[in-house]
Amino acid sequence: MTDRWTVLVAEVPAAIEDEVAAVLGGGSLGVELVSAGPGMSAVRVYLGTGDDPAAWRARAGRILEAHGVAPGAIAFVPVPDERWVERWQESLRPIPLGRRFIVQPSVDAVGTEGREPIRLVPGMAFGTGEHPTTRMCAAALESRVLPGSSWLDVGTGTGILALVAARCGARAVTAVDRDPEAAHVAREVVAANGASAVVRVGVGSIEDAGSTPHDGLVANIQASFFVAQARDLSAVLRSGGVAVISGFLEEDLAEIEPALSRAGLEVVERAVEPPWACLVARRR
């Protein structure tokens, strides 16, 4: 059997594996995620015979840097043709999200099990809500988003959490991501779910939230972001506004919670799905 395909392999923190895979995998033949050790994942992007490895390396480097990952951990490996595309497509399945929703990563009509479907763009396999941090954020949004409220989604990735906020009754959701490709993916997902009138997607971060305070924000980002920018998170919330944050390990709480407190954010709820954690904090 001859080596026909090439796989681009990039190691990233497991907390952002979905977001990186969704953006990096655009235009590829398929993507898969495998464990790369404690807290790390390998994003494997399958390339065709006509793809330019140098161009893909440059693109991967830009995407990793936009997600705060050093671009050095990028490799290319040959793989034999073993009908992996068919196996990958067959593995896509609906993913329950929170208590109300189900993410449908396939174009085929599937049963919703009584849940409200969130559809992904055809061909996009990840950023699907399968990661524990995404699930915990979605569950928190279901109980915290009030009808008519305004929300901010920082590091929106594929836009799924912004959609959850909109479906739960938010009148306006601003979704931002530093990575232009991620913002492009999020716009497509929002449009595919008919939510473009409610969810506005842009390139940027917390500093691009606008001057009007929000009723709530959600951010599924690595721990260092919350420690460094806790005051910025507090500043974009109105008095009594809530922040739903995750993307970090339970062991990171010892550093994150004091940073939030110093910024005027009081933790009112904790959720843990080992080893990951999620916090809900209210602006005092």
Task: Read off the tokens for 160.
Answer: 């799924």
Query: Tokens 């305070």 identify what position?
Result: 213
Per the structure, how many domains does the chain have? 2
Of residues 186, 264, 196, the one with CA closest to residue 230: 264
Which stretches does DSSP call E strand in 98-208?
Answer: 101-104, 116-119, 150-154, 172-177, 199-203
- In this predicted model, what pLDDT tens digit does every residue of 162-209 receive, in sequence order? 999 999 999 999 999 887 877 888 899 999 999 999 999 999 989 887
> For helices 132-144 and 160-167, what crossing angle results, to 10°?
20
For residues 144 and 30, membership in a common domain is answered with no
Note down the domain range covering 55. 3-91
Query: Tokens 């593995």 identify what position?
Result: 91
Alpha-carbon separation of residue 69 from 32, 82, 184 (angstroms): 19, 31, 20
For residues 136 and 257, membership in a common domain is answered with yes
Residue 123 has pLDDT above 60, yes or no: no
For residues 168 and 46, membership in a common domain is answered with no
pLDDT at res. 88: 54
For residues 72 and 136, membership in a common domain is answered with no
Share of the chain above pLDDT 70, in %: 87
In a domain, 200, yes or no: yes
Task: Read off the tokens for 33.
Answer: 């995620």
- Name the most confidently modeled range: 44-53, 96-105, 171-180: 171-180
Task: Read off the tokens for 172.
Answer: 């306006």
Q: What is the CATH number of the domain that holds 137?
A: 3.40.50.150
Q: What is the CATH number of the domain that holds 36?
A: 3.30.70.1380
For residues 27 and 163, membership in a common domain is answered with no
For residues 83 and 169, membership in a common domain is answered with no
Provide the whole-model pTM. 0.75
Element (H, E) at 24: helix 17-24
Of residues 34, 16, 7, 3, the one with CA closest to residue 158: 16
- On the 0-12 / 13-18 / 19+ scale of CB atoms within 10 A, 275 is middle
Of residues 162, 158, 152, 156, the one with CA closest to residue 215: 152
Domain end marker among 76, 91, 106:
91
